[in-house]
Amino acid sequence: MLFGHRDWEEPYSVNIAIYSNRIEIDNPGHFTEEATPNDYIEKQESSRPRNPLIVKILYLSGEIETWGTGLRKIYSVCKKENLKVEFEDRKLAFFVVFYRKDLDKLVENTEKNLSNKVESKVESKVESKLTLNQKKILELISLNPNIILSELSRTSWNFSDVCIK
């Protein structure tokens, strides 16, 4: 839809800048003096595309389903996903800024979830193949990771069950 609203008389292109905490889209052109970005988000403002022929081609080709709803859709999807988005009409361009979620926390949470899932799967697979004595040994080791063999051997074990085959 950037093409439908772009000011083709400006010699500048649409720019997309990707930063660690945000993504900025810089589109040459600006809103009409009568409307602001919030008018399209909060109200049912009717669209006035700068390039109606391009918008019509995009509509007829199925690239857009309608016009005049883009900002509202962007805003509602970002709100649903708890992402901050800003629309700014500057002198020579219209900016959309998408702020990324905290990537460090996202990576950390993903790693934890993956680790927990793998650990759980491994535990269930291994546990199903252990004998009762092997499970007892693992329980004693988990209670005291520094336990030594002589302490483990004080308990009467069926040693053939303890050995992993």
Give per-residue pLDDT as tens, 107-160: 677 777 777 777 777 777 777 777 887 888 888 888 888 888 888 777 655 555
For residue 112, the tally of other CB atoms under 10 A from its CB is 10
13 Cβ partners below 8 Å, 6+ apart?
Answer: 28
pLDDT at 127: 73
Number of domains in the chain: 2
Q: What global pTM score does this model have?
A: 0.52
Claim to verify: residue 156 and residue 130 sit in the same structural domain: yes
Claim to verify: residue 108 and residue 63 sit in the same structural domain: no
Claim to verify: residue 90 and residue 66 sit in the same structural domain: yes
* Distance from C-alpha of 126 to C-alpha of 156, rounded to nearest angstrom: 23
What's the mean pLDDT when you consider all of the chain? 76
Claim to verify: residue 111 and residue 90 sit in the same structural domain: no
* Distance from C-alpha of 65 to C-alpha of 47, rounded to nearest angstrom: 13
Considering 46, 67, 99, which residue would you say is the last residue of a domain?
99
